[in-house]
Amino acid sequence: MEPLSDADRRKWDESNDRHFYESPRYVTHADDAFLDRLTALYDDLFDPGDDVFDAMGSWVSHFPEMELGRVIGHGLNEAELRANDRYDEWFTQDLNRERTLPLADDSVDVVCCALSVQYLQWPTAVFAEFNRICNDDGLVVVSFSNRMFPTKAIRAWREASMDERAELVASYFTVGGMEVQKRIMEVPRVGDPFYALVGGWVPVVD
In a domain, residue 206? The reply is no
In a domain, residue 1? The reply is no
8 Å CB contact between 184 and 138: no
In a domain, residue 127? The reply is yes
**DSSP of 6-56:** HHHH--S--S-HHHHTSS---S-SS-HHHHHHHHHHHHHH--TT--EEEET
Give the span between the Cα atoms of 161 and 167, in whole angstroms: 10
Give the CATH number for residue 52: 3.40.50.150
Strand partners of residue 72:
53, 89
Whether residue 205 is predicted with pLDDT greater than 60 in this model: the reply is no
- Phi/psi at 109 (5° precision): -95, -30
In a domain, residue 69? The reply is yes
In a domain, residue 116? The reply is yes
Q: What is the pLDDT of residues 67-115, one digit of tens each?
A: 999 999 999 999 999 999 999 999 999 999 999 999 999 999 999 999 9
Q: Which domain holds residue 127?
A: 6-201
Question: Structural domain tally of the chain?
Answer: 1
